[in-house]
Amino acid sequence: MDKLTQADATSHDIVADNIDKLKTIFPEAFTEGKIDFDVLKETLGEYRETREERYNFSWAGKSKARRLAQTPATGTLRPCPEESVDWDTTENLFIEGDNLEVLKLLQKSYQGKVKMIYIDPPYNTGKDFVYPDKYADNLKGYLEFTKQVDGEGNKLSSNAETGGRYHSNWLNMMLPRLTLAKNLLKDDGVMFISIDDSEAANLVKLGDEVFGEENRISLICHKSRASVSNDKIISPNHNYILLYAKNERTIFNLRSKFGLPPELDGFDEEDENGQFKFVPVDGPGGAAKGNPHYTFLGVTGYWRFSEETMKEKYDAGLVQKVGNGLQQKYYLEDAKKTRKTTTTWWDEKLYTSTASARLKQLMDGAPFNNPKHIDLIRKMIELWCRNDGDIVVDFFAGSGTTAHSCLEQAVTNDQDIRYIVVQLPEPLATEASQKVAAEYCDRIGKPRNIAELSKERIRRTAAKIKDEHPDYKGDLGFKVFKLDSSNIEAWDSNDENLEDSVLKAANVLKDGRGELDIVYELFLKYGLDLSYSVNTHEVAGKQVYEIGAGSLFICLEDHITTDFVEALIKLYKSFDDEAAPRVVFKDSGFKTDAAKKDAESTLKDAGILDVKCL
């Protein structure tokens, strides 16, 4: 006999029962578990003619979420060479941090430069999390979450349907991120977004709002598994991939360059014009399509061409009677120029189960649940990334499939593909669902979070490629950056101890920060590609950082003298780059204001017009 529980002892909730009954009869009057009384009245026949009706898509918190995308970033990205692979030469980036703040920080450096974005965000199933955005200070929330500062102990939590703003929370997370991501795309760039039934309808409406309905290319259906569940009315074995263009017209005009490579089998015939095969001149549904109907060479049918065009092709030897029908020649060279794909991606090699088995072998274990298949992401890359140097971005990196796919695509096609992936250092819990992953981190001596697993996967992928392709000279490395607060000590006018405030302002760098931290923060402020190499030069006994073939010089030394400035000008003139250079000093590097003004004047006379101090 079962024990009587507290729930059994509680009296029946009549109000809840009535609401359930009402929801059954009038589901359209409910949104996110709450009654919309205006809709309910209209459903019962009571209409208010003064109520404005228009097509719109709205939810709780939308205005704040939109403003969040426009709020300036306050953080920076700190370089971590010790966690990177081939730091000095690689152009690939792994960024650890909250992707909203990171997307803001990348705006200057990568706006309009990304060819393809792919994301696999939380599907909002009620079990996954929603990022803990703080409208007041998103960076502060992230630092508290990662325990870098004391605070309220913000945690990622599941977005349960009982929370009251189930769909709104998810949409508030996605809106600012999609808005910022769109800005990164080139004019011929595209964005793929994986999703399942939970938020597919909302994602389409949100994507239409951010990108414009006219820029929605397709909703691709991807068969993700072969197994069937017994606990469903209809077992879902697919998910969706929503595809948007930055500019659909640009994509349309370049459509012959996009798509998957054609099938080139069966071209067994040959004439003076090359290899070919016969294909029908008619096709299915000819009558419904309005194809012309006539008799040619004794064969009656609905044909692809007008009678005049058919005769021209026949006279040119391109159309023949074969058996009881008409056939036309389709040449191999023409086939090679075609690019086609469909909205149903139904290949069994794209199953999640196959991806899991492959990843388990690579990682010597199974630290990830339900990873996306490498060949799925490679299919997207092959569709859109045709040029060397194309950049692929994934700001929900997860297991690192996108980075892995870029590396394999590059080595297979001998193509230079760059990637930028962003992953929150989401802590791994000790419950059963994440226990294996947490123990895997222990085994490799890394902190227990998803970002560490992702980095380990990319390292192992690179090592595997080196082992299998020893002569490959492509980029197999990645630079690691971590989101943090600014390295530059801010002037605190409210500090009660004026002497301490002055000393902090004079030191510029925060405690625990190095000069390289400052250098890369200046990359972001000046909008430089984070993959640029940083070269050091000794100039008049002082260290100077030079970036971008002489486009930026940084000196954080003290006691800047006239001799040093003259030597710096000599270094600048040794570069052939015609771009106007920029120079940055510490404000405290000059003994007097007069010395600072003299240095600025001398540099400007030499053609260096952009001179700044920290």
Domain CATH number, residue 96: 3.40.50.150
Of 315, 336, 357, the one marking the end of a domain is: 336
Residue bearing the bigger pLDDT, 352 or 568: 568
Q: Is residue 486 within 8 Å of residue 75, measured between CB atoms? A: yes
Predicted confidence (pLDDT) at residue 560 exceeds the cutoff of 80: yes
Same domain, 541 and 395: no
Same domain, 292 and 254: no
Structural domain contains residue 59: no
Which token pair is 556?
Answer: 């954080």
Same domain, 163 and 222: yes
Structural domain contains residue 352: yes
Structural domain contains residue 1: no
Instruction: Report the pLDDT value the prediction gives residue 97, as an integer from 0 to 100.
Output: 94
Structural domain contains residue 304: yes
Same domain, 147 and 248: yes
- Please calculate the CA angle 90-91-94 and round it to the nearest 5 degrees: 95
| Beta strand extents in 441-511 (DSSP E only) | 479-485
Instruction: Report the pLDDT value the prediction gives residue 253, as an integer from 0 to 100.
Output: 81
CA distance 152 to 363: 36
Rg of the chain over all Cα atoms, to the nearest angstrom: 30
Percent of the chain with pLDDT strictly greater than 90: 54
pLDDT digits (tens, 9 = 90+) for 467-492: 999 999 999 999 999 999 999 876 55
CA distance 129 to 160: 9
Of 484, 513, 537, the one marking the end of a domain is: 484
Give the pLDDT band of residue 351 (cuts 50, 70, 90).
confident
pLDDT digits (tens, 9 = 90+) for 99-141: 999 999 999 999 999 999 999 999 887 766 656 666 556 787 7
CA distance 66 to 113: 23
CA distance 7 to 385: 57
Instruction: Report the pLDDT value the prediction gives residue 2, as an integer from 0 to 100.
Output: 46
The pairing of strands 390-394 and 344-345 is unpaired
Q: Is residue 544 within 8 Å of residue 553, measured between CB atoms? A: yes
Predicted confidence (pLDDT) at residue 268 exceeds the cutoff of 90: yes
Same domain, 518 and 461: no
Structural domain contains residue 462: yes
Same domain, 84 and 204: yes
Of 468, 484, 500, the one marking the end of a domain is: 484
| Sign of the alpha-carbon dihedral angle for 400, 405, 408, 414 | negative
Instruction: Report the pLDDT value the prediction gives residue 320, as an integer from 0 to 100.
Output: 92
Give the pLDDT band of residue 150 (cuts 50, 70, 90).
low
CA distance 376 to 194: 11
- Lowest mean pLDDT across 196-205, 282-291, 430-439, 444-453: 282-291
Structural domain contains residue 452: yes
Give the pLDDT band of residue 372 (cuts 50, 70, 90).
confident
Same domain, 446 and 497: no
Give the pLDDT band of residue 434 (cuts 50, 70, 90).
confident
Structural domain contains residue 61: no
- Residues 6 or more apart whose CB falls under 8 angstroms from that of 455 comprise 83, 94, 400, 478, 480
Q: What is the mean pLDDT of the chain?
A: 85
User: 0.85 exceeded by the pTM?
Assistant: no
CA distance 405 to 411: 10
Q: Is residue 29 within 8 Å of residue 36, measured between CB atoms? A: yes
Same domain, 424 and 532: no
Same domain, 117 and 168: yes
Query: What domain count does the chain have?
Result: 4
Same domain, 88 and 222: yes
Instruction: Report the pLDDT value the prediction gives residue 11, as an integer from 0 to 100.
Output: 47
Question: Residue 482 forms beta bridges with which residues?
Answer: 78, 96
CA distance 560 to 485: 28
Same domain, 153 and 17: no
Host domain of residue 205: 66-259+346-484
Same domain, 471 and 506: no
pLDDT digits (tens, 9 = 90+) for 420-433: 999 999 888 766 76
Q: Count Cβ atoms below 10 Å from residue 564 Cβ, excluding itself.
A: 20
Which token pair is 53?
Answer: 């009706």
Q: Which of 488, 516, 514, 498 is nearest to 588 (CA)?
A: 488
Structural domain contains residue 60: no
